Amino acid sequence: MPEPENTHRHFILHKPFGYLSQFIGNPKNKKLLGDLYDFPAGTMAIGRLDQDSEGLLLLTTNGKMSEYVRGRKVEKEYYAQVDGIITPEAIVQLQKGGIEISHEKQPYFTLPCVATRLDPAPDSPERSRRVRDDRHGPTSWISITLTEGKNRQVRKMTAAVGFPTLRLIRVRIGSIILGNLAPGQVQEVEEFAL
């Protein structure tokens, strides 16, 4: 692990729905991470969550730390609310891997992962925009744990097995958990204990 440097700072953030995982390059006046907190200059997100995704995001001013975390096969756990009641067969497909998804316009086959149905549904904070109402049909929740991280991978995986993702929340990176951190809340930490 890189030697900690006293000059660097590290943060844990609960990224809310509707924010981009970036600080600059504001297309069409989208909400950026800097709108949530006065981060020091040079702060960068380690990995990303797309605008429609929520949950745990790690930030640092140490580029070496960012490369270290992204370069390791660190587990990332997501809770996904999917359209319909997911079947045991779909869960097995997710677990086995080999699901073809597109990545950078090339076919990519996913690695095996941990996938389970969450019943009861997780107690997640209300989102700023409702997913949909019950009259549009049932939904269910699953947990997916990956060690890879392709663009919009969880969404592509659940759609490929017939259950598109309606809401996606990252709840864990390595041993760091989202816990009770509220949407938009930031916690500064001495280091990342992954």
Degrees, nearest 5: CA angle 111-177-19: 85
Instruction: Tell me whether residue 133 is one of the annotated catalytic residues.
Output: no
Catalytic residue among 35, 38, 50, 119: 50
- Contact present, 130 and 105 (Cβ < 8 Å): no
Task: Scan for tokens 């017939």, then name that residue.
Answer: 162
Rounded to an integer, what distance in angstroms lies between the CA atom of residue 118 and that of residue 139? 11
**Measured between alpha carbons, how far is residue 50 from residues 65, 97, 174 in Å?**
21, 22, 20
Peptide bond into 120 cis (omega under 30): yes
End-to-end CA distance of the chain: 10
> Chain centroid to CA 109: how far?
19
- Contact present, 166 and 82 (Cβ < 8 Å): yes
Residue 62: CB partners within 8 Å, gap ≥ 6? 2, 5, 8, 10
Catalytic residues: 50
